[in-house]
Amino acid sequence: MGNKILEDFQNQFVGALLDNKAKNTFLDDIVPAGTLKTAKSALSAHQTGYYARLTEALGETFEGTWFALGDDLFFEVCKTFITSFPSKNYNLSNYGEQFPDFLAKSELTRDIPFLYDLAKFDWLFKEIFHAKQHQTVDTQALIDLQNSPHSHIYFGDTVRLFSSSYSVYNIWQLRKGESEKDVDIEKPQHLLLYKKNYDIYTKEISLFQHRLLTHLMQGESFSNVIEYATEQDSQEIVSLFSIIGSSGVIRKIEMIQT
């Protein structure tokens, strides 16, 4: 029964923080402290802190989105989002997974064409940052792969692919002045992201290379993936496997002899 009472109180408390309409019976349970004289003033202080903490969490995760929107619009969107999606996790780094979809539907931001992809990139970068770095295979295993084309390649948990119809990565880099200010927003981008030596790297690849990597990451064998290529694609394949070898994105190769 004690747990049920605590759960009811927590639900009422969060509800009061979000809609500013607390029942009198709920306010009776709040004891103001310090310079706060009433239950309503105590609730107001909690309300301000609640929105501030969640806005800060969103700002840390969605740096590129914040930069693109500017302070005023970003804070306004955050407040609306927090009201619709209150935090259910003590770890605030996990808060905001629904934010990109929210931005795509919000009247405030839905007319910004690249914003959804930019927010998705922000979230993807956060996931890689918190993921555990894998142990890469040695160079000899990569060399042996040439003699075992039916083998399966397994990528590390920090390896991700990203594709957008817009130059999202260049926009994202602008947040800290890491890119040229004159960005061709309409230029599509295809990216390989990975963690190496605890740093996160982003490598721009071609659409064809992105497709090959997608098939490999879905579990197709090396030989099957090569079948998608034509003779004109040979140079791109050589370039891609040079990237794979130097980046250390493979954690395991399952050799299959035929």
| CATH code assigned at 214 | 3.90.930
Closest CA to 201 of 139, 128, 141, 92: 128
Distance CA 199, CA 191 (A): 16
Give CA–CA dist 252/196, Å, rounded.
16
pLDDT band with cut points at 50, 70 and 90 for residue 42:
very low
Domain of residue 143 covers 133-254
pLDDT of residue 35: 53
Same domain? 114 vs 31: yes
* Domain C-terminal end among 106, 129, 152: 129
Contact, 52 vs 79, CB < 8 A?
Answer: no
Q: What is the pLDDT of residues 242-257, one digit of tens each?
A: 899 889 999 998 877 6
Angle at 200 between CA 194 and CA 204, to 5 degrees: 60
pLDDT of the residue at 46: 53
Is residue 198 domain-shared with residue 181, that is, in the same domain? Answer: yes
pTM score of the predicted model = 0.80
Q: Are residues 18 and 52 in the same domain?
A: yes
Spatial distance between the Cα atoms of 179 and 169, rounded to a whole number of angstroms: 9
The predicted structure's pLDDT at residue 5: 46
CA atoms of 41 and 146, how far apart (whole Å): 70
If asked whether residues 48 and 75 sit together in one domain, one would say yes
* Gap between the Cα atoms of 125 and 146, Å rounded: 32
Q: Out of 96, 129, 162, pick the residue that ends a domain.
A: 129
- The residue out of 129, 152, 175 marking a domain boundary is 129
With cut-offs at 50, 70 and 90, classify the pLDDT of residue 191: very high
